Structure 1
Amino acid sequence: MANAFDFELVSPERLLLSEKVTEVVIPATLGEMTVLANHAPTMTTIKSGLVTVRLASGQVAKYVVFGGFADILPTGCTLLAESAVPESEASRDLLDKKIKDLRSEIDNTLSDDHRTKLEHMLADLTHLGGTLPA
């Protein structure tokens, strides 16, 4: 059995998960990354996507996150999400609302740099929509 470590997934609304896990796959801004026990200390930003967690019991849990950051230490990982829900609660309506809000923000921004950042976020949400069950 792989070494277990502490993992917490927290959003402003609630603590979604606090468990011993053996693996966490995170949608980091610069690419998907897998966290295992004894990982080098790292802090990374998170883009919208799917977090896959393998619990110490062997069960797999999935969560949809909408931005945030992860603090990774050799003994654990904490993911602080701007917003997150269990995959089972992620509906097409929720995603469509977030896309609509983001498009509105893009239309109303004056800064080219900010618009580019928002367009990248929109691409991430659109990709996420293709990975969620219908």
Structure 2
Amino acid sequence: MASFDLELVSPEKLLLSRPVEMVVIPAAEGEMGILPGHAPMIVQLRGGVISVTEQGKITERLFVAGGFCEVTPDRVTVLADDATPVTSLSKTEAAARVATAEAAYEAAAASGTPEVRELAMDSLLSARAMAQVAEAA
């Protein structure tokens, strides 16, 4: 089957770099499947799971807290704010992130600018997505 190069990069390191058959990303507009030959685009990511398919089955599932993805017909580059294998997610850590993000959003809602509130809401939604994935894992 045809493949394309996938690179997943976090601020700390290069997490993944290899040919894959398909990847599903959590785009801001919704889940987006990418196959070889996909139209070029740049999309914003929301908190969610990236699923990597190789040899007809999902081989990797990584939670990303957000970021961007560049798609070309023969390469996909994911620039993730934070990436964690789904199997490594902790329910306790996810719950703590939700509590921290809720407090930050309440503070931003009380005295922040619209931009600050939006960033706080993005962080809260990402933390809630992490909690859902950790609960299901």
Give the TM interval when normalised to the shorter protein. 0.7 to 0.9
Tell me, in whole angstroms, the C-alpha distance in 1 between the residues paired with 2:76 and 2:42. 10
1:94 CA displacement: 2.8
**Percent pairwise identity:** 32
1:89 CA displacement: 1.3
Partner-residue secondary structure (3-state), 1:96: helix
Q: Residues 71-86 of structure 1 correspond to what in structure 2 (within 5 A)?
A: 71-86=70-85
In structure 2, the partner of 1:129 is 131
Give the stretch that moved more between structures: 7-16 or 55-64.
Answer: 55-64
In structure 2, the partner of 1:19 is 18
In structure 2, the partner of 1:65 is 64
2:118 maps to 1:119: no
Q: Deviations over 1:64-115 (max 9, x none)?
A: 0001000000011000000011111111133223223322321322124532
Structure 1: which 4+ aligned runs deviate by more than 4 Å? 56-59
Q: Normalising by structure 1, what TM-score?
A: 0.86
Q: Normalising by structure 2, what TM-score?
A: 0.85
Q: Residues 21-36 of structure 1 correspond to what in structure 2 (within 5 A)?
A: 21-36=20-35
Q: Deviations over 1:1-21 (max 9, x none)?
A: 2x1100011101122111110
The CA RMSD measured in Å over matched residues stands at 2.0
Q: Deviations over 1:22-44 (max 9, x none)?
A: 00000000111001101110100
In structure 1, the partner of 2:91 is 92
Across the two proteins, how many residue pairs are aligned to each other?
133
Contact 2:101 2:127 in 1 (8 A): no
Unaligned runs of 5+ in 1: none
